């Protein structure tokens, strides 16, 4: 392994580690759940990416086999990070909507912006039906349900 490759790998590892550290620090210090979501969805993708690229360079350079797994890890990470963030955000909307976990820094207490066209946001769509008491089974028309 040449000196230049060593420098490159070390640089990528330090860069990746720094971004993971900053993302975690953001998770700790930002004021509310919605703002905290920004740290792990972004700052850590480059962090993990840096470590994976370092691994892709290091192993072939030291006589190991080139591996495609780093590429797959990157793809799966990029696919799953927005989905988990979306799920956390949606459950947070519901908790705030029910006043369980209100945080003024999120601005949900002052009201979400309304969806254009008068439609509700999908996560609350039909929520009123869920909260209404269930109709008694005997009142259903026969043959249905």
Partner 1 sequence: MIRRLLPHPALSVLVGLVWMLLANEFSMGALVLAAAVAVVVPLVTSRFWPDRPRIRFGPAVLDYLAIVLFDIIAANFQVAWIILTRRNRDLRARWLVVPLEVRSPEAITVLAGTISLTPGTVSTDVSADGHALLVHALDVADPEAEVARIKQRYEVRLLKVFR
The contact set with partner 1 (CB under 8 A) reads 19, 22-23, 25-26, 29-32, 34-35, 37-39, 41-43, 45-47, 67-69, 71-72, 78-79, 81-83, 85-86, 89-90, 93, 105-107, 112-117, 119-123, 125
For partner 1, the closer CB: 9 or 47 = 47
* CB of 14 vs partner 1, minimal distance in Å: 14
Contact 25, 18 (CB under 8 A): no
Nearer to partner 1, 8 or 30 (CB): 30
Q: Are 45 and 79 in contact (CB under 8 A)?
A: no
Give the C-alpha separation, 56 to 48, whole Å.
Answer: 12
Which C-beta is closer to partner 1: that of 6 or that of 121? 121
- Write out the DSSP string of 56-77: HHHHHHTT----SHHHHHHHHH
Residue with smaller CB distance to partner 1, 69 or 98: 69
47 near 16, Cβ under 8 Å? yes
What is the CB neighbour count within 10 angstroms for residue 91? 13
Minimum CB–partner distance for residue 112 and partner 1 (Å): 6
- Compute the least distance from the CB of residue 91 to partner 1, in Å: 11
With CA atoms as reference, report the closest residue to 37 among 97, 103, 99: 103
Residue 126 beta carbon to partner 1: minimum distance, rounded to whole angstroms: 8
């Amino acid at each position: 392994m040449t000196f230049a490759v060593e420098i490159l790998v070390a640089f990528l590892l330090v860069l990746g580690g720094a971004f993971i550290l900053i993302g975690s620090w953001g998770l700790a210090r930002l004021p509310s759940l919605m703002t905290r979501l920004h740290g792990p969805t972004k700052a850590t993708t480059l962090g993990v990416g840096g470590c994976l690229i370092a691994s892709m360079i290091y192993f072939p350079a030291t006589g190991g086999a080139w591996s495609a797994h780093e590429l797959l890890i990157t793809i799966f990470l990029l696919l799953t990070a927005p989905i988990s963030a979306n799920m956390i955000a949606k459950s947070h909307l519901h908790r705030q909507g029910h006043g369980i976990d209100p945080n003024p820094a999120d601005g949900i207490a002052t009201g979400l912006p309304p969806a254009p066209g008068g439609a509700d946001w999908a996560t609350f769509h039909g929520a009123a039906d869920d909260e209404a008491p269930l109709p008694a089974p005997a009142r259903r028309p026969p043959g249905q349900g």
